[in-house]
Amino acid sequence: MSVKLGGFKMSFLEEINEKFEIVEVYALKSDDEKMLEEIYSSLTMNLPEECRFIFDNYGYITFEVMNPKGYEITISLSGPYGFLQDLRTLQDWPIENVGNVVPIGNDIGDMLYLYGTGNEGLGLYLAEVGALHKDEYVKLADSIFDFFCKGIGIDKL
């Protein structure tokens, strides 16, 4: 499946910035496909095309990127199962703290990648699981495409 990005159609994975190394790509399982209905019906906001592309096609995708300080950072973009797990983490916090965001991935640790509206407007944010408050989010880029395909905001990791 391809996503329309920047006026042309191309696979989101084909557009990934050269700074990201794709480490693992897992296919959807039949159970994952069943979860898609639950996900799409429970959302209060529209997901960006990149998220829908990942959900509709992959169990999850893991990337590594070199931090400007010289060490690797792992980013796992959630498929349906991971999304629901991360969404439950968000739901443990008051909505007025969390804001109108959805989890699109994590660092396989204590950080979540959130998409939605934070204190700096719509965009991709980084948040610590133990302190999920929109005032603490770090805005990485205006969109998932800008971060993963153009490399905007990598320096903030």
DSSP state of 28: P
- Give the pLDDT confidence of 92-124 residue by residue, as tens digits: 888 788 888 889 999 988 899 999 888 899 999
117: left (phi over 0), alpha (psi -120 to 50) or beta: beta
Any domain includes 48: yes
**What's the domain count of the chain?**
1
Any domain includes 132: yes
Any domain includes 11: no
- Give the pLDDT confidence of 67-94 residue by residue, as tens digits: 777 789 999 998 888 888 888 888 888 8
Query: Average pLDDT of the chain?
Result: 84
State the pLDDT confidence band at 151, using cuts at 50, 70 and 90. Answer: very high
Range of the domain at 58: 18-156
Residue 133: its pLDDT value, please?
87
Any domain includes 12: no
Any domain includes 3: no
CB-CB contact of 76 with 107 (8 Å): yes
pTM of this prediction?
0.85
Any domain includes 150: yes
Query: What single string gives the DSSP state of each residue in 130-149?
Result: GG--GGG-EEEESSHHHHHT
Number of H helices, E strands in the chain: 5, 9
Any domain includes 2: no
CATH of residue 143's domain is 3.40.1580.10
Any domain includes 41: yes
